[in-house]
């Protein structure tokens, strides 16, 4: 839990803001935070909340406020004491405490001659400020002293930041930062001294002296005082152009001009020169583009604007892996558009891709690395520096210097400055016709004409593995990757979603861990880090990279980000609103998460957009949830899955069946997660209902083993379920077992379902059980009993008034009549099933009835009619993307091809059925032992063993698309001739 006072008072846990109440509870909390770890009396808290005139009920009201705070913070954090209350928090858990520690570290480092460490610490300290200290209780008397103290320290930190910039030779940044400081505090002499020194080092002696005279005038006018001796001494040194103002002393501790600290020993910083940075290696790792500015003239004259020099493009030393398509596409976009923004999550390889693109361009490239820039006021000066200009307070001089020249500006790591960058970029593109801008950012700049290029993760099986192996060779040269290791590496890359930085960090672990150990640790934590000194801090661990992205979100976006982790895979807007929204607005924060690259969009047809979170982001988001919130969300997720499956179960029997097949396919990971949660959370009845409603989808998609497993587990877990629930579940189980060729198990399950269904006053489950009972009896050769069961199925289906059920029952009865040899009755019954199915749009039943009609025609010797009906059934089931029924129809079509003199084509289809059926775990020969031998014989009897084997082998290699094309070719060749 962390506490925030450098801005509005706030409490966060796991990055999520906690509800702490209105102004008065906030005042009480602020008073406790200012005296953290010390007892604050009730009277002191009353004074803090109400001031000098508390109401008579103040003590009781205070107790209510504190009680609510204790429920949020926990009794161990906000402790009750006989003398009052005490808030327990380590100093680093309060942003004010962290700020003071970092400031002290920065000043110590500066005094010790380490300006780089000093600058880093002070920047981190200033980044903690979100506004004036204690902003929401700023009027309270108790807070005034602390607000003033922290405000003073903030100014000290800002001054230390300028000192660090000057010591590092960053004259441009020093001028801009000091100018901002003086504009805010014009009478603060230390800030004036920094600005004077920075201007002088930039070759602007007259401006430095003018700054002194303006400060002197303000002091005289306001207070009647002259500037202090230090400021006057500095003005005299500038006037005589003292060499010590330009040369850093050679030893720490030597005297230095006012407003400076000794940089690293022996480092001379010429006027107007910025030190070169170092690049970061790795596809997904940011590199620091350095800009070597020109040496300024002697300080007696201001530097004149020179033609812009090309920036030095710093590239990592390790190999750039893959991305050929992305390189070509980004270059193409830059040729046709003037602003291209590479977007994607942190660590996604945007920087590396952008720099590789720039390396291959012929135009001059100017690089602005923005990751370390947090002050938008310095933005224009930073951009100007990239063009080789000494310093600019606005863009006018930059525009004048560049003119119509062609150039490319690379703005790297823009996400935290997009608002300010939008204005700067728009101005540059408007005034510089030859300029093109390539930006990398987790969120777009939102400028007119911007073309976004989302940088995709690396393909897991190919490029991501190649990257892993390349980086692994650098840290573990003695390790070789065998076939078993490669499979583990592929699983590592899949676990990391092919995110380049994550893959690189994982590969670095090979110095101490095997691939199996790395994969095991990834299953438990995202805590993978790198010790490479050339990586920026934000890219030295995966969690830190995600942290940087998470900090850019507002409160609503953070809440939604955490809640969306409940989805196991992709989801649509309706699901997000139902599960994660709970009545709140979802579209607005979801839009922010998408533009911030923490949620990706996945096209899903022409009408519905789907979304997904990378697995590593989902795992991070899940940890933001408290146990109670996580349970509540998973219960809502289960309820949503139940409603979805219930609706889909009906929709699969109507004209919208293709839509529902696609929907359930897209939601498969979510429904699996809901089933697992139902069993783990002690809700097996909900799990059984969900599995029952999904069974028809599993039936047609060939997910037989999965469906049988879920149904068995849930049925066994809830023996006390109602008869109708158990009957429906057992019938679903029987149907899957039947398709799997496990006829005895199917018959036993269905008989149990029939016994239960007869005890309830609902004809629909009775009809379904009778339908499967008739199949089972027919397969057992019990024709009379099968006919009786089939007639009972039709009768109960008619009583139910459910047309799709009646169509199924009639189709089954047609099959039974055919089994008895009554082909006329079979034909009439199947035709009725087809009419009803066609009327209600139940395409599966229609196709299934045509499948039976083909068998009836074959029995009658009408082989051409059998072929035609089998072709209709096959193509109809293919249009539904059905798997099991389509394979059964395809098997029958192969047989009719043999019957009509095209045995070689039939052998090809038999091979395809064997190949695809083997991959999905379904065999028509097991499901239909009565007719399958005849269909196979019709093909094999007309071919030699060698010819049959050759044609069947051709079919074994086909996928579904190839089979579809083959069937379409058959239809085109034969159907018109018959008509």
pLDDT digits over 409-445, tens only? 999 888 888 888 888 889 889 888 999 999 999 888 8
- Average pLDDT, integer, range 637-652: 94
**pLDDT tens digits for 923-968?**
888 777 778 899 999 999 999 999 999 999 999 999 999 999 999 9
**pLDDT tens digits for 685-707?**
999 999 999 999 998 888 888 99
Q: Are 340 and 333 in contact (CB under 8 A)?
A: yes
Structure tokens of 768? 């379904």
Evaluate if residue 582 carries a pLDDT over 70.
Answer: no
Evaluate if residue 227 carries a pLDDT over 80.
Answer: no
The whole-number pLDDT of residue 585 equals 82
The whole-number pLDDT of residue 964 equals 93
The whole-number pLDDT of residue 306 equals 41
The residue among 193, 297, 174 whose CA lies nearest residue 236 is 193
Evaluate if residue 343 carries a pLDDT over 60.
Answer: yes
Structure tokens of 168? 């590092």
Q: Flag the least confident range among 12-16, 44-48, 394-398, 646-650.
A: 394-398
pLDDT-derived band at 257 (thresholds 50, 70, 90) equals: very low
- Average pLDDT, integer, range 245-254: 45
CA distance 647 to 656: 11
pLDDT-derived band at 302 (thresholds 50, 70, 90) equals: very low
The whole-number pLDDT of residue 228 equals 76
Average pLDDT over the chain reads 83
Q: Are 662 and 605 in contact (CB under 8 A)?
A: yes
pLDDT-derived band at 543 (thresholds 50, 70, 90) equals: confident
In this prediction, what percent of the chain has a pLDDT beyond 70?
88
Evaluate if residue 266 carries a pLDDT over 50.
Answer: no
Classify residue 413 by its DSSP letter: S
Q: Flag the least confident range among 428-432, 536-540, 559-563, 587-591.
A: 536-540
The distance of Cα 925 from the centroid of its chain, to the nearest Å, equals: 44
The distance of Cα 965 from the centroid of its chain, to the nearest Å, equals: 37
Q: Flag the least confident range among 189-193, 545-549, 932-936.
A: 545-549
**pLDDT tens digits for 776-830?**
888 888 888 999 999 999 999 999 999 999 999 999 999 999 988 899 999 999 9
pLDDT-derived band at 529 (thresholds 50, 70, 90) equals: low
- Average pLDDT, integer, range 598-622: 79
Structure tokens of 537? 């801090």
pLDDT-derived band at 526 (thresholds 50, 70, 90) equals: low
The whole-number pLDDT of residue 846 equals 94
Q: Which residues pair with 421 in a beta bridge?
A: none
pLDDT-derived band at 972 (thresholds 50, 70, 90) equals: confident
Evaluate if residue 226 carries a pLDDT over 80.
Answer: no
Q: Are 725 and 733 in contact (CB under 8 A)?
A: no
The whole-number pLDDT of residue 231 equals 84
The whole-number pLDDT of residue 605 equals 54
Q: Is 567 left (phi over 0), alpha (psi -120 to 50) or beta?
A: beta
Q: Flag the least confident range among 17-31, 321-335, 350-364, 381-395.
A: 381-395
CA distance 315 to 357: 11
**CA Rg, the chain, in Å?**
37
CA distance 654 to 844: 9
Give 296 or 113, the one with higher predicted confidence.
113
pLDDT-derived band at 280 (thresholds 50, 70, 90) equals: very low
Q: Are 501 and 539 in contact (CB under 8 A)?
A: yes
Q: Which residue has the tokens 């009439």?
A: 828
- Average pLDDT, integer, range 748-769: 92
The whole-number pLDDT of residue 286 equals 35
From residue 769, alpha-carbon distances to 731, 756, 791, 793, 849 in Å are 6, 10, 12, 8, 19
Q: Which residue has the tokens 């501790």?
A: 253
The whole-number pLDDT of residue 531 equals 52
- Average pLDDT, integer, range 511-528: 74
- Average pLDDT, integer, range 29-33: 91
Exposure b/e, 118-150, CB count within 10 A at least 16 = b: bbbbbbbbbebbeeebbebbeebebbeebbeeb
Evaluate if residue 278 carries a pLDDT over 60.
Answer: no
Evaluate if residue 244 carries a pLDDT over 90.
Answer: no
**pLDDT tens digits for 867-924?**
999 999 999 999 888 888 899 999 999 999 999 999 999 999 999 999 998 887 778 8
Evaluate if residue 258 carries a pLDDT over 70.
Answer: no
From residue 191, alpha-carbon distances to 181, 182, 208 in Å are 6, 6, 12
- Average pLDDT, integer, range 385-397: 64
Q: What count of other Cβ atoms lies within 10 Å of the Cβ of residue 277?
A: 16
The residue among 656, 741, 658, 650 whose CA lies nearest residue 701 is 658
pLDDT-derived band at 314 (thresholds 50, 70, 90) equals: low
CA distance 534 to 502: 16
Q: How far apart are the first and last CA of the chain?
A: 78
- Where does 289-348 show beta strands of DSSP type E? 339-343
CA distance 761 to 752: 17
The whole-number pLDDT of residue 337 equals 92
Give 255 or 832, the one with higher predicted confidence.
832
- Average pLDDT, integer, range 360-369: 86
Is the pTM above the cut of 0.85? Answer: no
Evaluate if residue 270 carries a pLDDT over 70.
Answer: no
CA distance 549 to 359: 27
Supply the angle between the helices 723-739 and 743-757 in degrees, to the nearest 10: 160
């Amino acid at each position: 839990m962390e506490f925030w006072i450098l801005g509005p008072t706030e409490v966060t846990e796991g990055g999520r803001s906690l509800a702490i109440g209105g102004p008065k509870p906030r005042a009480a909390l602020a008073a406790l935070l200012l005296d953290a770890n010390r007892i604050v009396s009730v009277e002191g808290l009353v004074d803090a909340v109400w001031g000098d005139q508390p109401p008579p009920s103040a003590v009781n009201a205070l107790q209510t406020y504190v009680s609510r705070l204790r429920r949020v913070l926990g009794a161990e954090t906000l402790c009750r004491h006989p003398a009052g209350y005490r808030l327990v928090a380590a100093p680093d858990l309060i942003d004010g405490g962290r700020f003071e520690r970092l400031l002290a570290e920065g000043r110590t480092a500066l005094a010790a001659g380490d300006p780089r460490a000093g600058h880093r610490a002070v920047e981190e300290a200033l980044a903690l400020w979100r506004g004036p200290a204690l902003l929401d209780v700023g009027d309270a008397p108790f807070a005034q002293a602390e607000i003033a103290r922290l405000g003073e320290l903030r100014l000290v930190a800002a001054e230390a930041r300028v000192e660090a910039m000057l010591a590092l030779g960053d004259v441009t940044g020093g001028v801009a930062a000091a100018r901002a400081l003086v504009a805010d505090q014009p009478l603060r002499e230390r800030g004036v001294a920094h600005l004077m020194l920075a201007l002088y080092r930039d070759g602007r002696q007259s401006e430095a002296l003018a700054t002194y005279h303006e400060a002197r005038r303000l002091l005289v006018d306001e207070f009647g005082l002259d500037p202090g001796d230090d400021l006057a001494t500095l003005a005299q040194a500038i006037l005589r152009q003292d060499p010590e103002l330009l040369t850093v002393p050679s030893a720490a501790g030597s005297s230095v001009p006012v407003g400076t600290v000794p940089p690293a020993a022996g480092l001379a910083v010429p006027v107007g020169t910025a030190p070169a940075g170092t690049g970061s290696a790795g596809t997904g790792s940011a590199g620091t583009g350095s800009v070597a500015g020109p040496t300024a003239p002697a300080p007696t004259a201001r530097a004149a604007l020179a033609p812009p020099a090309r920036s030095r493009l710093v590239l990592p030393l390790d190999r750039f892996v893959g991305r050929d398509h992305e390189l070509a596409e980004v270059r193409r976009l830059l040729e046709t558009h003037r602003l291209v923004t590479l977007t994607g999550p942190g660590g996604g390889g945007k920087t590396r891709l952008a720099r590789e693109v720039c390396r291959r361009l012929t135009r001059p490239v100017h690089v602005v690395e923005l990751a370390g820039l947090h002050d938008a006021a310095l933005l224009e000066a930073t951009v100007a520096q990239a063009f080789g200009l000494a310093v600019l307070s606005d863009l006018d001089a930059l525009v004048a210097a560049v003119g119509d020249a062609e150039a490319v500006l690379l703005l790297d790591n823009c996400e935290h400055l997009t608002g300010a960058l939008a204005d700067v970029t728009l101005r540059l593109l408007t005034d510089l016709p030859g300029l093109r801008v390539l930006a990398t950012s987790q969120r777009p700049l939102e400028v007119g004409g911007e073309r976004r290029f989302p940088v995709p993760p690396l393909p897991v099986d190919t490029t991501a593995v190649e990257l892993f192996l390349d980086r692994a060779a650098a840290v573990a040269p003695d390790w070789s990757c065998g076939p078993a290791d490669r499979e583990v590496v592929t699983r590592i890359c899949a676990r990391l979603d092919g995110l380049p930085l994550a893959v690189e960090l994982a590969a670095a672990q090979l110095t101490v861990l095997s691939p199996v150990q790395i994969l095991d640790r990834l299953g438990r934590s995202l805590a993978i880090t790198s010790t490479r000194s050339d990586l920026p801090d934000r890219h030295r661990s995966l969690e830190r990279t995600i942290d940087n992205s998470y900090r850019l979100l507002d409160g609503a976006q953070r809440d939604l980000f955490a809640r969306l982790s409940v989805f196991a895979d992709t989801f649509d807007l309706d699901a997000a609103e139902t599960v994660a929204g709970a009545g709140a607005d979802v579209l607005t924060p979801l839009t922010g998460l998408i533009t911030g690259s923490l949620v990706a969009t996945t096209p899903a047809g022409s009408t519905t957009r789907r979304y997904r979170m990378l697995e590593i982001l989902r795992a991070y988001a899940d940890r933001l949830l408290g146990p109670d919130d996580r349970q509540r969300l998973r219960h809502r997720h289960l309820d949503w899955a139940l409603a979805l499956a219930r609706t889909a179960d009906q929709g699969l029997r109507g004209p919208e069946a293709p839509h529902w097949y696609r929907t359930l396919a897209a939601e498969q990971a979510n429904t699996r997660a809901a089933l697992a949660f139902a069993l783990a959370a002690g809700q097996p009845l909900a799990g059984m209902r969900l599995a029952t409603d999904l069974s028809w989808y599993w039936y047609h998609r060939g997910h037989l083993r999965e469906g049988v497993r879920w149904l068995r587990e849930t049925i066994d877990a809830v023996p006390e379920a109602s008869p109708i629930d158990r009957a429906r579940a057992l019938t679903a189980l029987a149907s899957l077992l039947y398709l799997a060729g496990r006829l005895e198990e199917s018959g036993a399950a269905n008989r149990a379902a029939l016994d239960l269904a007869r005890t309830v006053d609902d004809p629909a489950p009775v009809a379904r059980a009778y339908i499967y009972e008739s199949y089972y009896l027919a397969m057992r050769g019990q024709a009379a009993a099968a006919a009786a069961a089939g007639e009972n199925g039709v009768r109960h289906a008619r009583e139910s008034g459910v047309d799709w059920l009646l169509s199924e029952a009639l189709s089954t009865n047609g099959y039974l009549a055919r089994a008895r040899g009554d082909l006329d009755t079979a034909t009439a019954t199947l035709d009725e099933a087809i009419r009803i199915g066609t009327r209600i749009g139940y395409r599966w039943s229609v196709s299934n009835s045509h499948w039976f009609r083909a068998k009836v025609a074959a029995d009658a010797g009408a082989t051409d009619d059998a072929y035609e009906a089998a072709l209709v059934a096959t193509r109809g089931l293919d249009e539904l993307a059905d798997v099991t029924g389509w394979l059964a129809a395809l098997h029958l079509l192969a047989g009719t091809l043999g019957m009509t003199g095209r045995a070689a084509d039939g052998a090809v289809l038999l091979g395809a059925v064997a190949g695809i059926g083997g991959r999905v775990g379904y065999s028509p020969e097991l499901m239909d032992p009565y007719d399958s031998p005849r269909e196979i014989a019709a093909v094999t009897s007309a071919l030699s063993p060698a010819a049959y084997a050759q044609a069947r082998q051709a079919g074994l290699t086909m996928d579904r698309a190839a089979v579809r094309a083959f069937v379409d070719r058959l239809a085109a060749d034969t159907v018109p001739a018959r008509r």
